[in-house]
Amino acid sequence: MARSRAPGPKSISTTVLPDRYRSIFKFPAFNEMQSLCYSALYQNDVNTVISSPTGSGKTVLFELAMLRTLATNNLGNFKIIYIAPTKSLCYERFQDWSARLAVLGVKCGFLTGDTSAEEVATVKQAEVIVTTPEKWDSTTRRWTDYDRLMAMVKLVLIDEVHILKDLRGATVEVVVSRMKYIAPHARFIALSATIPNAEDIADWLGQQWNSLPAQLFAFGEEFRPVQLDIHVYGYSTRTTNTFQLDKLYDSKYAESLLSSLVGINGERLPEILDAHFVQKPIIIFCPTRKSTVSTAKLLAKTWMKSREAILSCRMDPGRHFQDNELDELSRAGVAYHHAGLSMQDRVMVERMFLGRKILIICCTSTLSVNLPAQLVIIRGTSAWIEGQVQEYTEFDMHQMMGRAGRPQFDTSGVAVIMTTRDKQSKYEQILCGQEVVESCLHNHLVEHLNAEVCLKTINDIESAKGWLRSTFLYVRMKKNPAYYNIGATGSSKTIEESLDHLCTENIARLQISKIVETSAGNELVPTIYGKSMALFYIQFQTMLKFMNAGVGMSISDILTMLAQAQEFKTIRFKQGEKKFYKEINASVGIRYPLKTADIKDSGEKVSLIIQQFTLGRPEFPVYDGCGKHVTQFHADKAMVWQHVQRLIRCIVDCKIQALDGLSVRNALELARSLQAEIWDNSSNILLQLEGVGPATLRKFLNRDVHTFADLADMDTLSIESALSLNRGRGMKYLQDVEKMPRFAVTLKKLRETPDTSSVKITIQVAVKLMNKTVVKMYNRKLLTVGFLVELSNGELVDFRRAM
């Protein structure tokens, strides 16, 4: 293990690599940290854990391990899996590696929850697969479908492994443990920020061929190529409201947390800028989109106005941005950047910032482009994340701070964190790498145990205990038993007994719920419910709700149940939103309005989000001050849409298992509507076609063209006349209709066999695709056909799916 200044080479030249490999690096020599790791990563095949400061060049370490894999395997005969916590980080790696590794003939694939079926086929051909923990968890839950791909995995790269302690850490922990089972001969490389217990991660990861820990390198802040000075300001306040605190950071006096702050006590944001500004770019991270704008305005009116020395940074004359406020502020050398801006404006802000025409960017933590700055200020350690106020994770903090002082731009960087006084100690520990990484797997164990039973990784209680002993949770339970509510003595027996209890208790919950059952051979096997729960990534409490739902559910009933899923628990009403949603509920486009006079339940809000705009597509309410609610609506809708497709498919499976034909039929109709983002029998059905908006739809309806069949029966001249188009422009609509799958169903009775109390009927059903050309995909999704047979009393007789 290398820790701090271990003996070794100061710097190794890239000339030690073969010429073709050297070309992917744009520098002549590796830095000291990279040089110390060079032999382990490029000249050996050992599992390795590296803990190193943000900005120290850790990505190069992954690349050395990738080159080792490339040197010892033929192209096309291996897979490298890169796992990172966020889509933005994954996309950044994908873009970079796609460009630089292409010269070696290496193809990269990008696999996230947004990846279409068409793109998945491309990913299968790639040597490097870039993915998130959640998507790789979902993929490996069906690993028997990808057994050839999994057998080719030679290297697994785990970035930011210290997120094990965060909310999503359980997924990382399970995925890595599963990959060790699926690909036992694969090599694992894990990188983390500076943490005090990196050896625990090395113990957990282990070596491929023995029980020894992974090789560990732990480097201190002195290995950061660009020195980063971190200053934390604590604020005394009586409020815990994040948005009141946001104003406080602009106007109230702060107290310095660190004694080395050169007398900067009680400074407001402009004074903090004065203290650290060296006429180089500044990024200020704000908790909300609104606060990015207000902060930019404040600085443009105060601090920037008084800076004679930076007048040259201001924008050239003329209009540069679509957003009026942004265009005006940019002339003062200040801009804001958030997801609510148009892509054109965001790209222009980034370009002008890199060109030093904009000096300060005020942005949210979701800024995906790795823009370099000399000074980074984090205005508050809580933000609006996934529909609620949350503290930034350690990963978020390091990602934001890591933008300060990039090697190719600066020789030093400064990061300033503004927080409340009660959180001072916490952030001092995090930022100095003193916060111990713990596991959070025990908080999500029942879902993950079910997934492993489905994968046959676990087949009885003993194998469940063995699986749990392979996790990071077990490593930390032995080190810190009190954290996991284990007896204070921490003896081996107490830990083992606690482990047994943890397993038996959660397995019993699955058995009692009929999600898992015991076979005649005394093996744990999943029921259909258990398989659906694992396949569709459903939380335990949500699954219980789906399994215990009533018979003969209407679409309204199913929509209500879906909206109350545990997956939406973080979506709540914000201040002033109830009036906005009451008006939505009263609009004509809401097919299933809520009957309650007081809309207050989060499930009611989710139901209206699903129906508003996406299915019913009515207009938004219009009144003074409602604009901010429209913006928040779109943010909440994005969250809802992450889950609805999985949830409705699980409901369908549960109702098939219950032989509840009526519920299956209604759930399938809702599923089709959600997939198309419009009600199945809506008068707005033509809006699914590209280029058909409300105005075009009205013109079609005025000509009695209501369905795709009506449109297909028209000729180009009729279309051009109806829409007032130039000659030849109508053909596009006919071509788009032809791309839509159209089916014909025929049924033939083959025989009828009477019995004493019933009649057995044998039928033959034929489903024929009527398109002139074969349609295998629509809207980038594989085409599937569902066939349902239901009795008049609602009982399900048969259900089948076909591609």
pLDDT band at 647 (very low <50, low <70, confident <90, very high): very high
Which of 201, 352, 360, 338 has the alpha carbon at shortest distance from 273? 360
pLDDT of residue 3: 44
With 0-12 CB in 10 A as exposed, 13-18 as middle and 19+ as buried, what is 669?
middle
Measured CA to CA, the distance from residue 34 to residue 32 in angstroms comes to 5
- Of 96-105, 475-484, 647-656, the poorest mean pLDDT is in 475-484
CA dihedral 82, 86, 90, 91 (to 10 degrees): 170
Asked if pLDDT for residue 233 goes beyond 80, the answer is: yes
Residue 631, pLDDT score: 76
Closest CA to 49 of 184, 185, 187: 187
Q: Give residue 254's pLDDT.
A: 28
Query: Above 90 in pLDDT, residue 188?
Result: yes
Residue 198 has pLDDT above 80, yes or no: yes
Interval 165-189 mean pLDDT? 90
pLDDT of residue 41: 96
Helices 602-609 and 577-586, axial angle in degrees (round to 10): 50
Q: Is the model's pLDDT at 205 over the cut of 70?
A: yes
Strand, helix or coil for residue 304: helix
Strands 255-256 and 215-218: what pairing? unpaired
pLDDT value at residue 266? 31
Closest by CA to 575, choosing from 389, 428, 748, is: 389
CB 336 within 8 A of CB 329: yes
Least confident of 478-487, 511-520, 555-564: 478-487
- Long-range contacts at 341-345 (CB < 8 A, ≥ 24 apart): 345/321
pLDDT for 271-287, tens place per residue? 888 888 888 889 999 88
Check residue 251 and give its pLDDT: 40
Tens of pLDDT, residue by residue over 535-587, are 999 999 999 999 999 999 999 999 999 999 999 988 888 878 888 998 888 88
The pLDDT of residue 7: 44
- Per-residue pLDDT of 701-721, as tens digits, reads 999 999 888 998 999 999 999
Q: What is the rounded distance in angstroms from the CA atom of residue 115 to the CA atom of residue 562?
A: 24
Question: What does the pLDDT read at residue 339?
Answer: 78
- On the question of pLDDT at 490 being above 70, the answer is no
* Percent of residues in the chain assigned helix, strand, coil, to nearest 5: 45, 15, 35
3-state secondary structure of 657: helix
Q: H helices then E strands: how many in the chain?
A: 32, 25
Contact 195, 433 (CB under 8 A): yes
Q: Identify the three-state secondary structure at position 237.
A: coil
Which SS3 state, helix, strand or coil, does residue 749 take? Answer: strand
Beta-bridge partners for 766: 746
What are the helix (H) ranges across 102-241?
A: 117-124, 133-140, 147-151, 169-182, 198-205
pLDDT at position 661, please? 95
Which range has highest mean pLDDT (42-51, 121-130, 681-690, 708-717)?
42-51
**Partners of 387 in beta bridges:** none
DSSP 168: T
Q: Distance between CA atoms of 382 and 427, rounded to whole angstroms?
A: 12
Q: Where are the alpha helices (DSSP H) in 212-342?
A: 242-251, 269-276, 289-301, 324-330
- The angle, 0 to 180 degrees and rounded to 10, between the axes of the packed helices 694-702 and 716-723 is 120
Higher pLDDT, 548 or 147: 548
Question: How many Cβ atoms from other residues are within 10 Å of residue 39's Cβ?
Answer: 13
- How far is residue 256's CA from residue 250's CA, in Å, rounded to a whole number? 15
Query: Do 204 and 36 meet the contact criterion of CB atoms below 8 Å apart?
Result: no
Rounded alpha-carbon distances, angstroms, from residue 182 to 109, 128, 148, 610, 623: 20, 18, 11, 38, 57
- Give the CA-trace dihedral at 718, 710, 695, 680, to 10 degrees: -170
- % of the chain exceeding 70 in pLDDT: 89
Spatial distance between the Cα atoms of 764 and 236, rounded to a whole number of angstroms: 76
Of residues 443 and 489, more confidence is placed in: 443
In the prediction, which pLDDT does 145 show? 67
Residues 6+ apart with CB under 8 A from 87: 112, 114, 132
Residue 687 CB burial class (10 angstroms; 0-12, 13-18, ≥19): middle
Provide the β-strand partners of residue 802: 785
Cα dist from 740 to 686, 687, 770, whole Å: 11, 13, 10
Residues 782 and 117 sit within 8 Å (Cβ to Cβ): yes
pLDDT at 526 over 90: yes
Residue 260 has pLDDT above 50, yes or no: no
Q: Secondary structure of 384-448 in the HEC alphabet?
A: EECCEEEECCHHHHHHHHCCECCCCCCCEEEEEEEEEHHHHHHHHHHHCCCCCCCCCHHHHHHHH
Average pLDDT, the chain: 84
Mean pLDDT to the nearest integer, 39-63: 92
Q: Please state, in angstroms and rounded to a whole number, the distance separating the CA atoms of residues 155 and 270.
A: 48
Model pTM greater than 0.85? no
The pLDDT score that the predictor gives to residue 124 is 81
Please, which pLDDT band fits residue 119 given cuts at 50, 70 and 90?
low
Nearest to 205 by CA among 196, 216, 195, 217: 216
Distance in Å from the first CA to the final CA of the chain: 53
Confidence tier at 265 by pLDDT (50, 70, 90): very low
DSSP type of residue 132 = -
What single DSSP character describes residue 780?
Answer: T
User: With bands split at pLDDT 50, 70 and 90, how would you rate the model's confidence at 73?
Assistant: very high
Q: Two tokens at 345?
A: 């404006």
Place of tokens 């061929």: 209
Lowest mean pLDDT among 297-306, 404-413, 477-486, 774-783: 774-783
In this structure, the strands spanning 227-235 and 255-256 are antiparallel
Q: What is the pLDDT of residue 252?
A: 35
Dihedral sign (CA 705, 711, 713, 714): positive
Answer whether residue 612 shows pLDDT above 60.
yes
The pLDDT score that the predictor gives to residue 263 is 28
Per-position DSSP letters for 516-579, written without gaps between them: EEE-TTS-EEE-HHHHHHHHTT--HHHHHHHHTPPSS--HHHHHHHHHT-GGGTT--PPTTHHH
Q: What are phi and psi of 744, to 5 degrees?
A: -125, 135
Query: From CA 90, how far away is CA 100, in angstroms rounded?
Result: 15
Ranking 90-104, 240-254, 303-317 by mean pLDDT, the lowest is: 240-254
